[in-house]
């Protein structure tokens, strides 16, 4: 089964973002990353798409994400910059939203329907719970 692809708006651009519950981190293609500020991180390496990437900084990306109902939510999150994220369902992927972000947003992916129904429950309710 393929991963769901959603629209994300960054600046005045509509980008394709894949929801990837198998990836802890989130990534952005380099051509879209340059407009966002960098922040240093402790250097580390990651295997992504069969390649090893080394990271020493993160981009702080701000934009809007939509759910299946068309509701739009503002976000500012950490994304690691990569050259390419490939394609999904014939669409070039600009962003990969990993499990960390999806968990923070309370994202529910209902794959019992086609295309999958996406609900960012915590963003929609505006109720964050800290334990």
pLDDT in tens, 39-74: 999 999 999 888 899 999 999 999 999 899 999 999
pTM score of the predicted model: 0.90
pLDDT tens string 75-116: 999 999 999 999 988 899 999 999 999 999 999 999 898 888
CB neighbours of residue 78 within 10 Å = 16
Q: Which residues partner with 8 through β-bridges?
A: 15, 65
Place of tokens 């973002």: 17
């Amino acid at each position: 089964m393929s991963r769901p692809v959603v629209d994300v708006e960054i600046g005045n651009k509509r980008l394709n973002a894949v929801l990837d519950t198998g990836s802890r981190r989130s990534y952005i293609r380099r051509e879209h990353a340059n407009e966002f500020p960098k922040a240093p991180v402790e250097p580390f390496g990651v295997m992504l798409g069969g390649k090893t990437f080394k990271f020493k900084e993160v981009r702080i990306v701000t934009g809007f994400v939509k759910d299946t109902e068309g509701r739009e939510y503002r976000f500012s999150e950490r994304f690691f910059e990569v050259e390419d994220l490939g394609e999904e369902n014939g669409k070039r992927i600009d962003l990969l939203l990993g499990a960390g972000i999806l968990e923070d947003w309370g994202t529910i992916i209902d794959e019992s329907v086609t295309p999958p129904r996406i609900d960012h429950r915590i963003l929609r309710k505006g109720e964050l719970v800290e334990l």
